[in-house]
Amino acid sequence: MSESEHVFRIHPAIGFARVGNSEEFYLGPETMAGLPLAEGDPATGGLPIRPGTESQTITSSDLRDRNGAFKRQAARFRVYEYPRVQGEETYPNGGGREIGIGSTVDGKKVVDVVWTVHVANKKANTYVLDENYPTAGLAAYEDGQLPPLRNLAEGPDSDNAARLRKLTIDPGPRAIGGAGAGPVRVDRATVATYGEGAEIRRLPSYPKSFPQDSFAELFCPTGDVDTLGELRTDERGRLLVVGAYGRACAWYKDGKPSLLDQDVNNDGWFDDTADGPVNAALVFDDGSVAEVAGAWVVSTDPGYAPQIVNAVTLWDDIYDTWIRKLRLQPEIFDRRFRDDYAPFFGGFVDGPLGGDQGGEHGPLGGDRGGKHSRFDGQVWPMFRSAYLQRWATNLPDIAVRAHEAVDKISAGDDPAETILGGLAFIRDPNDEDADFTGAPFMPLSLGDSNKPFLSLTLTQYFFLTQWNEKRYRKEGGPRLGPGEYLDKAVLFAGLGGRFGPGIDMTFVVRQPGLWTPDWCRSGGGPFRIDAKRLDYASAQASQPFLGQGWVPLHTPPGEGVEPGDTSKLMAIPWHTDYNSCATHPTSPELPPESGGTTLYWSWPAQRPVVVYPVGELRGGKLGPQRYSLRGPGTQSPNPADQGRYQERLRFIENWPKVGVVIQGTAIDGVEVDPEYYLEVASQLDETEVEPWPINALPG
Amino acid sequence: MGCTPPKWTIHDLRQHLQYAVDLEFWTIPFYMSAMYSIKDPTDDAYRLIQSVVYEEMLHAELASNVANAFGHSPKFPAPAYEGTEIPHLNFNLDSPNPTEVYTPYSAEIGPLDEKRINSMCLIEYPEWDTGHQPDLQPKMSDYGSIGEFYDAVRVGAAELAEEQLRGGRNQVDLFRNFYRELAQTVTDDGRAGLAQALTIIAAITEQGEGQTEGDVDIQPEFRNTADGYHSDWPHFRKFTAIRDSRRFPATYDGVADPKPGSPGHAAQRTLIRNFTAFRKTLEALFSGGDLGAFGAQMATLGANVLTCWQQGAIPKFSQEGE
C-alpha cells in the first residue's frame, strides 16, 4: 500500500486542557462521562487519567498535590491512521489505528512525531457578549450587526496593530517532538518554535505579546499572566497540552485596578485560558514526512464535576450542527429528519475497535473479558443525564425519585409504559412557546440566550420522538472507531445548550463556517475546526501576527479560524461568570402569570451548585447538601445571591479551593456507596478553631 | 330538623375528612385527563388546568394532614366517574343553582370540552354566603358546594379540637417549598393545632373556589411560589376563563372502550395498573410511611394519561366496578 492510500488524523478533534494552580497535572477524561464502563461494574466514565498511564483513572487523592494545590488538566492527543477512501467518506468510519513513535506504516517506521501548537487569548480584543434579550449571544451578530468592542477605550478598531499588541495574549507557536519530552513552556520567557517537516524551527523574532509587555503596572492577585500552559509528550510520542494556572490580571486606570464588576465582560482584565490549533507531522525512518489532519485545543475552567453529564452536552450541540447543517449522516437528516432512522437506545458495543486500540494502548481502559467493549447510545444517555443532575443541584425528593425512574428505563421497556411515555415532560425545541414554559417540562434549567428554559437539541429530540414511537434499535451504538470515540467522549464531557456564554466553548460551535467544509473528501473527517493556515516564516517582530480573527456571521467562508478565536467570546475573566452562574431567575423574565422569583440552575453539571460533601455522610448515607461555593464571603440573605462569592474578586482567589464531585468508586479512605457522586477535596469548609495558644499576625 | 344544630362526633368529623380527601382526589384524574387531552402543552388552557392539578394534589395532602390530626388516616379508593355524579356534592342545593348556568356537564372522564369545563366550574363554584353557620349533614351529598362542606368541617373541627386534635400525626409536607408561605402540617395539639388546621382548610377553599361572593385574588400566603400559573387566581376563575374564552384548544379524540389488544387498550391497562399502585403509595404515605415511589408514580401517571390520548383511548383509572 502506498503512502497516498493512508490518511492520518489527530484525535480528539477538540481536546480540553483545564487550569489549576498546581505544577502537577492529570490527563483529561477519555471515557463517556457518567455512562457505564463495563457490564456489572458500577464505575462510570468521565474520570481524569493518571499521567504516565494509559487509562488508569484518578481517585480523590489525585485531585490536589501534596501542598493542597489544584492540579491542572492536560489534553492528550494521538495520531490515527485510516485507509484513504475513494470518493466520499461516511460517518462513522468505524476504523482507525493509532500511530506513535515506533509504529510501522507501509513498512516504514515512525521515528518521530513533531507537534505544533499555537494557543492565544483574544478575550480582551473582542466583542462584548450581549446578555440582553432579544439580542443576546449570536443574535447580536445577525443582520450585519456587531456588538460593541470590549475595552473600547483602547480604540475602536479591533484590527489596529497597537490595540492587537496590547490586548492579545499571543505567545506564538510551540513545537515539540520525541518521546517523554518537555515541558515546552508556552510562555513569555521562551522562544516561539514551530514544526516544519521533521524540523523544529525557532522564531526568535516572533511578536509575542503578554500583558506585561504593554502595561507597566498590573494587579495580579494570584500571580502574573505570563504563560498559557505547556507542552509535553508521553512515551509513545503523544502530545499533552497542559493548561495554565487560572490567573487573572487587571491593568490600572486612574491609579486603581480596573473594576471587576461584571459577570461576563470586565474591561481592563486578562485571564490565562486559551485555544488554538494542534498540528502534527509523522517522521519516518526513510526521512519522509506525512502531514496529519489537525485538531484544536481549548484551555478552560477546571472540571469540577467530570462525571456529571449535561442535559445538552457540547457533543450534542456540535453533533446537532453537523447533522443538520453539514450532512454528517444523511440517513438521519436529509433536509429533514428521516422518519425511517432508528436511533440506538444504548448499551455495550462489542467487537474490535480497530487496530490495537481496544487493548493495552487504547483509550478504553483495556481489554474487557476478551472483548473490547464500550457503552454508547443515542437515547439512554439523555436519561442518565437526567438522573445525574441530582448530584449537583438541590432537586426535591419527589423529583429525584422521578429522575431515578427515568434512569431505569431500559431498551426492553415499552416506551408508552414508562415515565417518559408520550414525552409528556420533554420541552419541544420546535415550539418557541415551550421555551417560556417551565415545570414540568425538562430540562428544568436555564435556557440558551434569549430563552428562559433549556431545550434539547433538535437531534436529541428527534431521537427521543423516534424512541417514543418505538422506532429504535435496542442495542448500543453507533460503532465508532477509537479515534472517533475519543472525539465524542471528550466533547461529551463539555457543556452545551446554554451558551451564555458557556464554560468550554460557546455558540460559535453552531456556526457551519467554523468547521472544515470538505470533511468527507479531505481525509480529515468531521468535527475539525477550519484552522487558518499560518505562515510563521512571515512573522515580523514589528507587527502582530494574529489579527482580530474569525467573527461569527461576518468572516467569509474559507478565511479560517485563528488561535484564540473560539475562547475569545467567553467571559473575561472566566472566574466571574463561573462564580455568578449558580442559580438565577430566567432571562428573559417570565411573564408575571408564570411567577418571577423562582430560581433555576444555570449549568449544574459543569458548575455544580449544590453538592453532597463526602464529609457529611451519616453512617454511609447521604447527609445534608451544601453549596459548592461556600464559606466566608459567600453568604447572602437573598437566595438569589447565595452559593457564590458576593465580591467577584474573592473567587479569583478561591477557585482552587472548590471541591470536585466524583463517583463513590473513586473516593479514597471512606466506604462510599458506588452509586453516590460526592464532593471531595473541597477547601472551602469552615476551618476548625485551633486550641490555645493562638497568636496575632505580625503588624 | 329541630332548632338545635346536631352535635359533631369524632366519627362524623373523620367521615367528613375522608369525604374531603375523596373529593380532592377525585378531581385529579378528572382534571389531568382534560389537561392531557390538549395537544399543545403551552396552550393557556393546558397551563391553567395544570396549575390546578398541582394544587389539587396539595389539597389531597392538606386534607389528609387534617384527617390524621384528628386520628384518621385516609383511604384512597378508586374514584368513580359516572353520569353527572360528582362525589359528595349536590349542586341543586346551592342557591342560585349553578347547574342552570354550567350545563351540560358530565362527571365522566373526557377531553376538555363544554361538558368537562362546566363540571370543573361546578366543582369549584363559589359558596354563596348564607349568613349562617352550616349545619352538620349526615350525608355529604347534602352540601351544595365545597365551600359549604368545608365550612361545616370547620365547625366540627372547632367543636372537637380540644379533645381529639393531636399534632404531628402522620403529617406530610411534600410541597413545602412550592408554597413557601403556607404551613402545610398540623404540629400542635388542641386549640393551637386547630388554628393550623383552619389555615390549611382556608388554603384549600381559597385556592379552590375563592372567597365567598366576588372574584377575589388568593391571599399571598396561600399562593404557589414556585411553578404556578396565575397563582393569584382561584380555580374557579381559572376554569371560568377557559370557559368564557369560547375557544377550546385542539384536543385528542378517544374512545372509552378500545378493542382489547389495541394500543389504546394497552395504554388504559397501564394507567389502571399504575394508578392502583399510586393509590397504595398514598395510603402508605398518609399512614406514616415514607415517600416511596410517589414522585415517579405521579409523573408516570401523567405520561400514562397522555399516552392513552395519543393512542385514541379515553384515560381509564380503574377496572369496571372497582
Asked if B281 reaches chain A (Cβ–Cβ under 8 Å), the answer is: no
Label residue B20 by pLDDT band (50, 70, 90): very high
Mean of pLDDT values over A503-515: 97
Q: Which residue of B has its CA nearest to A404?
A: B296
Asked if A421 reaches chain B (Cβ–Cβ under 8 Å), the answer is: yes
Q: Which of A455, A461, A593, A610 to mutate to test the interface with B (most CBs of B within 10 A)?
A: A593
pLDDT at A360: 39
Q: Which residue of A has its CA nearest to B180?
A: A598
pLDDT at A695: 66
Please count the CA atoms within 13 angstroms of the CA of A199 that sit on its side-chain side: 4
Q: Which of B227, B238, B281, B294 to mutate to test the interface with A (most CBs of A within 10 A)?
A: B227
Label residue B5 by pLDDT band (50, 70, 90): low
Q: Flag whether pLDDT at A485 surpasses 80.
A: yes
Q: Which amino acid is at B220?
A: P
Mean of pLDDT values over B58-84: 97
Question: B210: closest CA among B145, B304, B166?
Answer: B145
Cβ(B55)–Cβ(B31) below 8 Å: no
Label residue B214 by pLDDT band (50, 70, 90): low
Residue A635 burial (CB count, 10 A): 13
Contact B224 A398 (CB under 8 A): no
Which residue among A420, A441, A593 places its CB closest to the CB of B230? A593
Q: Which chain A residues are Cβ-neighbours of B228 within 8 angstroms?
A: 595
Residue B84 burial (CB count, 10 A): 16
Question: B297: closest CA among B273, B284, B278, B316?
Answer: B278
Which residue among B40, B50, B295 places its CB closest to the CB of A402? B295
Contact A595 B231 (CB under 8 A): yes
Q: Flag whether pLDDT at A358 surpasses 70.
A: no
What is the end-to-end Cα distance of chain B in Å, rounded? 36
* Angle of helix B235-244 versus helix B44-69 axis, rounded to 10: 160
Mean of pLDDT values over B102-118: 96
> Which grid coordinates are listed for A265?
465582560
Can you tell me the distance from the alpha carbon of A174 to that of A377, in angstroms, rounded to the nearest whole number? 38
Can you tell me the distance from the alpha carbon of A621 to that of A639, in angstroms, rounded to the nearest whole number? 27
Percent of chain B at pLDDT above 90? 76
Write down the ipTM of this complex: 0.93
Asked if A396 reaches chain B (Cβ–Cβ under 8 Å), the answer is: yes
Label residue B130 by pLDDT band (50, 70, 90): low
Q: Which residue of A has its CA nearest to B230?
A: A593
Highest mean pLDDT among A241-250, A580-589, A610-619: A241-250
What is the end-to-end Cα distance of chain A in Å, rounded? 76
- Collapse the DSSP code of A461 into the 3-class scheme (helix H, G, I; strand E, B; otherwise coil) and give the result: helix
Q: Flag whether pLDDT at A355 surpasses 50.
A: no
How close is the nearest chain B Cα to the Cα of A482, in Å?
A: 38
Question: A76: closest CA among A385, A443, A362?
Answer: A362
Asked if A598 reaches chain B (Cβ–Cβ under 8 Å), the answer is: yes
Asked if A402 reaches chain B (Cβ–Cβ under 8 Å), the answer is: yes
Q: Which chain B residues are Cβ-neighbours of A397 within 8 angstroms?
A: 174, 291, 295
Q: Which of A437, A464, A468 to mutate to test the interface with B (most CBs of B within 10 A)?
A: A437
Radius of gyration, CA atoms only, chain A: 24
Q: Which chain B residues are Cβ-neighbours of A598 within 8 angstroms?
A: 225-227
A377-381, A693-697, B302-306: lowest mean pLDDT where?
A693-697
Label residue A697 by pLDDT band (50, 70, 90): low
A308-318 b/e (C-beta count within 10 Å ≥ 16 → b): bbbbbbbbbbb
Q: Flag whether pLDDT at A611 surpasses 50.
A: yes
Q: Flag whether pLDDT at A368 surpasses 60.
A: no
Q: Give A452-483 pLDDT, tens digit per residue.
A: 999 999 999 999 999 999 999 999 999 999 99
pLDDT at B10: 96
Q: What are phi and psi of B289, to 5 degrees?
A: -80, 180
Q: Give A170-193 pLDDT, tens digit per residue.
A: 999 999 999 999 999 999 999 999
Label residue A356 by pLDDT band (50, 70, 90): very low
Label residue B247 by pLDDT band (50, 70, 90): confident
Can you tell me the distance from the alpha carbon of A213 to that of A222, in angstroms, rounded to the nearest whole number? 19
Q: Flag whether pLDDT at A160 surpasses 90.
A: yes
A405, containing H or E segment: helix A397-407
Mean of pLDDT values over A652-667: 98
- Collapse the DSSP code of A600 into the 3-class scheme (helix H, G, I; strand E, B; otherwise coil) and give the result: strand
Asked if B230 reaches chain A (Cβ–Cβ under 8 Å), the answer is: yes
- Collapse the DSSP code of A435 into the 3-class scheme (helix H, G, I; strand E, B; otherwise coil) and give the result: helix
pLDDT at A155: 97
Contacts of B52 (CB under 8 A, 6+ apart): B31, B235, B238, B239
Cβ(A364)–Cβ(A357) below 8 Å: yes
Q: Give A299-326 pLDDT, tens digit per residue.
A: 999 999 999 999 999 999 999 999 999 9
Contact B303 A401 (CB under 8 A): no
Which residue among A401, A437, A438 places its CB closest to the CB of B295? A401
Asked if B298 reaches chain A (Cβ–Cβ under 8 Å), the answer is: yes
Which residue among B225, B226, B303 places its CB closest to the CB of A424? B303
pLDDT at B113: 97
Mean of pLDDT values over A423-429: 96
Label residue B96 by pLDDT band (50, 70, 90): confident
> What CA–CA distances, in Å, run from A504 to A15, A543, A655?
10, 30, 16
Q: Give A529-571 pLDDT, tens digit per residue.
A: 999 999 999 999 999 999 999 999 999 999 999 999 999 999 9
Which residue among A396, A400, A422 places its CB closest to the CB of B303? A422
pLDDT at B146: 81
Label residue A363 by pLDDT band (50, 70, 90): very low
Q: Give A74-88 pLDDT, tens digit per residue.
A: 999 999 999 999 899
Q: Give A236-253 pLDDT, tens digit per residue.
A: 999 999 999 999 999 999
Asked if A593 reaches chain B (Cβ–Cβ under 8 Å), the answer is: yes
Label residue B93 by pLDDT band (50, 70, 90): confident
pLDDT at A687: 55
Domain B10-251 in CATH 1.20.1260.10: yes
Can you tell me the distance from the alpha carbon of A311 to that of A492, in angstroms, rounded to the nearest whole number? 10
A257, containing H or E segment: strand A256-257
Angle, vertex CA A332, rays to CA A329 and CA A336, nearest 5: 110
Asked if A638 reaches chain B (Cβ–Cβ under 8 Å), the answer is: no
Contact A436 B224 (CB under 8 A): no
pLDDT at A694: 67
SS3 for A96-125 is CEEECCCCEECCEEEEEEEEEECCEECHHH
- Collapse the DSSP code of A529 into the 3-class scheme (helix H, G, I; strand E, B; otherwise coil) and give the result: strand
Q: Flag whether pLDDT at B164 surpasses 50.
A: yes
- Collapse the DSSP code of A164 into the 3-class scheme (helix H, G, I; strand E, B; otherwise coil) and give the result: helix
Can you tell me the distance from the alpha carbon of A501 to that of B13, in angstroms, rounded to the nearest whole number? 59
Q: Which chain B residues are Cβ-neighbours of A416 within 8 angstroms?
A: 263, 266-267, 270, 307, 311
Mean of pLDDT values over A342-352: 86
pLDDT at A685: 77
Asked if B291 reaches chain A (Cβ–Cβ under 8 Å), the answer is: yes
pLDDT at B138: 64
A243-247, A353-357, A499-503, A607-611: lowest mean pLDDT where?
A353-357
Q: Characterize the bridge pairing of strands A192-196 and A199-203.
A: antiparallel
pLDDT at B6: 72
Asked if A23 reaches chain B (Cβ–Cβ under 8 Å), the answer is: no
Question: A18: closest CA among A666, A549, A656?
Answer: A656
Helix, strand, coil percent content, chain A, rounded in steps of 5:
20, 25, 55
Q: Give A107-118 pLDDT, tens digit per residue.
A: 999 999 999 999
- For B16-55, the DSSP string reads HHHHHHHHHHHHHHHHHHHHHTBS-TTSHHHHHHHHHHHH
Say if residue A478 is preceded by a cis peptide, omega within 30 of 0: yes
Q: Flag whether pLDDT at B42 surpasses 90.
A: yes
pLDDT at A690: 62
Q: Flag whether pLDDT at A633 surpasses 80.
A: yes
pLDDT at A24: 98
pLDDT at B60: 97
Q: Flag whether pLDDT at A686 surpasses 90.
A: no
Can you tell me the distance from the alpha carbon of B187 to that of B185, in angstroms, rounded to the nearest whole number? 6
Q: For chain B, give the mean pLDDT.
A: 91
Angle, vertex CA B84, rays to CA B81 and CA B89, nearest 5: 90
DSSP tag of B279: H
Q: For chain A, give the mean pLDDT.
A: 93
pLDDT at A400: 95
pLDDT at A404: 97
pLDDT at A691: 66
Mean of pLDDT values over A130-149: 94
